[in-house]
Structure 1
Amino acid sequence: MTRTLAEWLAYQERTHPRDIALGLERVRAVWEAMGAPRPAPIVITVGGTNGKGSTVALLEGMLRAAGYRTGCYTSPHLLRYNERIRIDGEDAGDDALVASFERIEAARGDIPQTYFEFGTLAAIDLMARASLDVAILEVGLGGRLDAVNIVDPDVAVITTVDLDHQDWLGGDRDSIGREKAGIARAGRAAIVGEPAPPASLLQVLRDIGAHIVRAGEAFTVTTTPAEAAPTRAAPTGWRWTHRDGTVLDLPRPALDAPVQMANAATAIAAIHALGPRVDVSPQAIRRALEQVHVAGRLQRIAERPRTLVDVGHNPQAARALAAWLDAEPAAGRVFAVYGALADKDVAGVVAALGRRIDGWFLAGLERDTPRGLPADAIAATLAAVLPGAAAQAFPDVALAWAAARDAAGDEDTVLLFGSFFVAGAALSTVT
């Protein structure tokens, strides 16, 4: 009997004893048994600590605005598994996913696959059948040993490198940088989206023989001074300049937060690195910048009080949220609805936001996932990092959010963040 999509996903969670099992041998063997399909003639792989999802969406928007058929693979999802695979701008349907999982099951024999490996193979399979021009694949964890890395990219993108998933990738930026550099290939462009990456990242890219295209060196961003246009009410334009003399004058991205300009610049550098293989005009880039939005990235879901949802879950992401709060100050107070997973640096997140938050509404996530932290555990860390900070603990996101809404006035801001589980819970109520 054919399984439903929900039944397939439940089955996949049982076929491997571990949620995460890094390594390419298993997934490569099944991919080769399926004929080693290439998802598209051109492949862009996007890795990094933060900014991957936004960069993928910007790449997709720019290429589609230029008339190309694209496929995108991202993770995790917010509301529906189908979000992970987009074919020409549309989420994969249940029937297509089920058919792909059946093909994977027939090919794998007794080779165990993790939940993520099933999804990666399905993405490659569905893209290969869709006659696409470009496939954009987001790395799930690390890079070198992530399942996505079975496919050789034409361009590798590494957005940022910071501390996250240390149990798997190492406890410092150098260790993490080495893992992320593993998605690059000899003789092909490796776009580095931050101007000060760890030395290990650059060294591994050199050892691989990749062509390094680095922010601040190969391409630069120039903006209107902040004092001239400090808010979205008077948006700044910006200029993207490449060392080969290419100059683009561009509108501010529709995606909010100062960091999105860096993500946009990185996406443009990746397209530029493909050279004559794609024809993406400045007009297509501008159109994408003005139109691309990504769910759960400072997504505004209500006004009065201003209410935003963000998937940021590590200190680097929290620093980006802090920069946004500084650039877009609330007329009133700022309340945070915050939940976290047990492997996240809660202290680092809290320290990054500091006293910008006037009240913390802490949400336990242990009902959502075995990895979820109880609210009391978050509260203990908060008290240690920010003594005297106003905080209340709740068993789930819904109760924490309800309390924040009750406390907030029309001029206040409510920010829900800390995990895809927090963002998913919030967005499920407004979609």
Structure 2
Amino acid sequence: MTARTEPSTVDGWLALIERRHGQKIELGLERVRSVRDALGANSNALVLTVGGTNGKGSTCAMLESILLAAGYRVGCYTSPHLLRYHERVRIDGREIGDAALTDAFAAVERARGDTPLTYFEHGTLAAWFAFCQQPLDAVILEVGLGGRLDAVNVFDADCAIVTSIALDHMEYLGDTRERIGFEKAGIFRSGRPAVCGDPQPPVSLLAHAEAIGARLWVSGRDFGFGGDRQQWGYWRYAAPPAQGALIRRAGLAYPALRGANQLLNAAAAITALEQLRERLPVSMQAIRQGLMQVEVPGRFQVLPGRPAVVLDVAHNPQAAGVLAENLGNMGFYPDTWAVFGMLADKDVDGVVALMRERVDHWLLASLPGPRGLQAEALAGRLRAAGVDNDLRCFDSPAAAFAAAQKSAAEGDRIVAFGSFLTVADVLAAVHAQRH
């Protein structure tokens, strides 16, 4: 492809990459590594890689917010996006601009030659190229799927975090926590700190960390947290496993992200930063400020106004269980209206089982694409599970949300969940209403 025929806009590049490479998942590092080497983009920034089943995006956002509060220059790459691709690549807390993003896509295109790349692989390398054009102190990379064979793993982490391990993407990662744990542990590096935010890690993760000589910190064993209604405290031992002096950090404000599970993510983020303190010292004031200011759309996001609107990208049983618990802690609402759409390859029955007691009315939405589950099929799954209360079907999450707004009383709440696609469509509808 010559320079004369390269797209001139972000939308043009995205359409080309999606059309030519597709959204197909192709696990493996050989192709990505070869293009990375040809790209020749290097950075002196410390690299923090974040994997896990749930909590990755929140943990990345916390790391980014704390480091920015400490005065560092930070690049952060996450996926997927909700409203526009630029959300995936942030530099110093701001979404990447059109010119920098198109330059990065073009650089990867020229470096790849005849090597095929998937949509995610091309985007990951483009994000890295963009970060290398800036004098950054830290780069935060969120794993797309798994870890060991994910495109992000071609970059060596100075510290790696695995937030949680649960059953998801089983067709690619295996059908047990042990197999999935091994895949996620693949982001750990020999002789470098690794953090596991899951208090009950699979033996496979522990064994892999030991086999390669990673310095593994495990939640509840080597670090943890406790608190009351007003504030919380962090603790860790001087060295893992549970060795040396006990170090405490008290008087921390709760993260701006809602939900009790966010303390698991916050403690893992602090542990990672503590391991890098010789090169990236961070004050307790920066930790407090960063946690108070962190924002992540779609993670138990409660919109202002009435009825209450909750957006959550929960799309597997573990995340649905956390969402159900968080909804239970919100207080009393006469009725809860669920805008619910899922992909067909997800554990629909597991999610429904955990959410059914929290929902009074189900507004079921068809999702687009070959993986999208149609609303009528979703209704059949709910009926088969014994859910016989109010079920309605809609062509899209936006249409379901409009119906929820029309039907819900002022004191009720609306919960949109089940997929990034569900939340994205509702969020777009909310933005359209406000503008």
Task: Give TM-score scaled by structure 2 length.
Answer: 0.94
* Distance across 2 between alignment mates of 1:360 and 1:62: 38
Please, which of 239, 242, 265 is the counterpart of residue 236 of structure 2? 242
The CA deviation at 1:40 is 4.2
Counterpart position of 1:400: 400
For the 8 Å contact 1:63–1:280, the answer to whether it is kept is yes
Please, which of 21, 26, 43 is the counterpart of residue 26 of structure 2? 21
Counterpart position of 1:266: 268
The CA deviation at 1:102 is 1.2
Relative to structure 1, the CA distance from residue 387 to residue 430 in structure 2 (aligned partners, 3 Å threshold; closer, same or farther) is closer
* Distance across 1 between alignment mates of 2:299 and 2:146: 21
Deviations 1:305-361 (A, max 9, x none): 101111111111100101101211333211110100111111010111121111111
Counterpart position of 1:233: none
Deviations 1:76-102 (A, max 9, x none): 000110111111111111111111111
Mean CA deviation greater in 130-139 or 331-340: 331-340
Report SS of the residue matched to 2:122: helix
Please, which of 277, 286, 289 is the counterpart of residue 287 of structure 1? 289
For the 8 Å contact 2:89–2:96, the answer to whether it is kept is yes
The CA deviation at 1:295 is 0.8
* Distance across 2 between alignment mates of 1:119 and 1:285: 30
Please, which of 53, 57, 60 is the counterpart of residue 53 of structure 1? 57
For the 8 Å contact 1:61–1:288, the answer to whether it is kept is yes
The CA deviation at 1:18 is 5.9
The CA deviation at 1:38 is 3.6
Once the two structures are superposed, the pairs formed by residues 161-176 of structure 1 within 5 Å of their partners are: 161-176=165-180
The answer to whether structure 1 residue 97 and structure 2 residue 117 are counterparts is no
Counterpart position of 2:410: 410
For the 8 Å contact 2:53–2:164, the answer to whether it is kept is yes
Deviations 1:7-31 (A, max 9, x none): 1111111333661111000010011
For the 8 Å contact 1:155–1:188, the answer to whether it is kept is yes
Deviations 1:104-155 (A, max 9, x none): 1111110001100111101111111111000000000000000000000000
Report SS of the residue matched to 2:400: helix
Give, as a single letter, the amino acid of the residue that structure 2 aligns with 1:334. T
The CA deviation at 1:156 is 0.5
For the 8 Å contact 1:40–1:127, the answer to whether it is kept is no
Counterpart position of 1:11: 16
Structure 1: 5+ residue stretches without partners: 230-235
Once the two structures are superposed, the pairs formed by residues 166-245 of structure 1 within 5 Å of their partners are: 166-224=170-228, 229=229, 236-244=230-238, 245=246
Once the two structures are superposed, the pairs formed by residues 359-398 of structure 1 within 5 Å of their partners are: 359-365=361-367, 368-398=368-398
Counterpart position of 1:333: 335
Give, as a single letter, the amino acid of the residue that structure 2 aligns with 1:122. A
Give, as a single letter, the amino acid of the residue that structure 1 aligns with 2:233. R
* Distance across 2 between alignment mates of 1:76 and 1:216: 30
For the 8 Å contact 1:74–1:137, the answer to whether it is kept is yes
User: How many residues are paired up?
Assistant: 418
Give, as a single letter, the amino acid of the residue that structure 2 aligns with 1:115. Y
Counterpart position of 2:243: none
For the 8 Å contact 2:197–2:264, the answer to whether it is kept is yes
The CA deviation at 1:39 is 4.2
Report SS of the residue matched to 1:277: coil
Give, as a single letter, the amino acid of the residue that structure 2 aligns with 1:238. W
* Distance across 2 between alignment mates of 1:178 and 1:397: 35
Counterpart position of 2:312: 310
Structure 2: 5+ residue stretches without partners: 239-245
* Distance across 1 between alignment mates of 2:355 and 2:374: 20
* Distance across 2 between alignment mates of 1:7 and 1:386: 46
Mean CA deviation greater in 65-74 or 257-266: 257-266
Counterpart position of 1:42: 46
* Distance across 1 between alignment mates of 2:22 and 2:70: 44
Please, which of 28, 31, 35 is the counterpart of residue 30 of structure 1? 35
The answer to whether structure 1 residue 88 and structure 2 residue 89 are counterparts is no
* Distance across 2 between alignment mates of 1:413 and 1:375: 21
Give, as a single letter, the amino acid of the residue that structure 2 aligns with 1:247. R
Counterpart position of 1:232: none
Give, as a single letter, the amino acid of the residue that structure 2 aligns with 1:257. G
* Distance across 1 between alignment mates of 2:396 and 2:429: 14
Give, as a single letter, the amino acid of the residue that structure 1 aligns with 2:428. S
The answer to whether structure 1 residue 155 and structure 2 residue 192 are counterparts is no
Report SS of the residue matched to 1:336: strand
Mean CA deviation greater in 299-308 or 265-274: 299-308
* Distance across 2 between alignment mates of 1:53 and 1:371: 22
Mean CA deviation greater in 244-253 or 41-50: 244-253
Relative to structure 1, the CA distance from residue 11 to residue 308 in structure 2 (aligned partners, 3 Å threshold; closer, same or farther) is same
Relative to structure 1, the CA distance from residue 87 to residue 265 in structure 2 (aligned partners, 3 Å threshold; closer, same or farther) is same
Mean CA deviation greater in 15-24 or 94-103: 15-24
* Distance across 1 between alignment mates of 2:202 and 2:253: 30
Report SS of the residue matched to 2:429: coil
Counterpart position of 2:346: 344
Report SS of the residue matched to 2:425: helix
Relative to structure 1, the CA distance from residue 266 to residue 5 in structure 2 (aligned partners, 3 Å threshold; closer, same or farther) is same
* Distance across 2 between alignment mates of 1:93 and 1:402: 32
* Distance across 2 between alignment mates of 1:178 and 1:148: 16
* Distance across 2 between alignment mates of 1:141 and 1:322: 24
Report SS of the residue matched to 1:276: coil
Report SS of the residue matched to 2:21: coil
Give, as a single letter, the amino acid of the residue that structure 2 aligns with 1:14. R
For the 8 Å contact 1:351–1:386, the answer to whether it is kept is no
Give, as a single letter, the amino acid of the residue that structure 2 aligns with 1:21. E
Counterpart position of 2:132: 128
The CA deviation at 1:294 is 0.7
Deviations 1:271-323 (A, max 9, x none): 01113111111100001111111111111224211011111111111001011
